[in-house]
Structure 1
């Protein structure tokens, strides 16, 4: 067995994503806490406080019904003119993006279990303007969320 340094092993796990997550890693390290219902800025991250799923106030029922005892949150995002956003999470949770009262199917998904601090990254193609982002099915009461324009 070779002696791989922890940093190298960590990088290898994170490189398994379909696109780079280095911006998320930097943002998550200093993500400010935010309550459920907060507005998430594109280009930034937040450490979102989740609430029991039944209290999250989802605009539409999550596509995947949350298991009992899980946590969720609702946030809003101002989608930039180009319409593409990438939402990355620190842990297990389901993401629904709602625009005009409908859930928008994701345009791309990448999930990696071996990257410390980042679990999944999902891309959406949206109309410019307001969107509601729902997080559900989380097993913990906090979730770091980054909203970025895809590179």
Structure 2
């Protein structure tokens, strides 16, 4: 084998290994969440479009259009005050009898869940910057019945949201 052929073999082998390591890094990134996000990975690609104020269903995802945060009428001011020029939305959900919800987002945004006109504290949080398409997942223990989900501080004008019962 001549020197040029040897270089091609080395370069090809490097490209194969680099591609494999990038794929492994993406898988490792998603595995870094504190709990599985495989349901979100399945739901997000086909998430239907939704506007601010939409009703979200437990067990499903939506691609929520966000509006300038200063145009959103939040039920309760966001716990973390959003910066000017960011985006937000609200949505409603019916919390199931067991009361546990896991809300996962495709990008950066603050999540507040409101019940009885007050913000509920999260009981678990996991965020990973190396999982393609999923940025954070937050768990809440709520009372069964209606709740409002508020998104604020997003830098993009849309975000995919999955509302699930924790596994």
TM over 0.5: yes
Give matches, 1:112-127, under 5 Å: 112-127=128-143
Q: TM-score, normalised by structure 2?
A: 0.88
Q: 1:8 corresponds to which residue?
A: 24
Unpaired runs of at least 5, structure 2: 1-13
> Offset at 1:123?
0.1
Moved over 2 A (4+): 1-4
Inter-partner Cα distance in structure 2 for 1:94 and 1:62: 8
Unpaired runs of at least 5, structure 1: none
Inter-partner Cα distance in structure 1 for 2:156 and 2:78: 17
Q: 2:144 corresponds to which residue?
A: 128
Q: 2:119 corresponds to which residue?
A: 103
Q: 1:45 corresponds to which residue?
A: 61
Inter-partner Cα distance in structure 2 for 1:92 and 1:66: 12
**Bigger Rg, structure 1 or 2:** 2
Q: TM-score, normalised by structure 1?
A: 0.97
Inter-partner Cα distance in structure 1 for 2:63 and 2:72: 16
Count, aligned residues: 151
Q: 1:86 corresponds to which residue?
A: 102
Q: RMSD of aligned C-alpha atoms?
A: 1.0
Inter-partner Cα distance in structure 2 for 1:73 and 1:40: 12
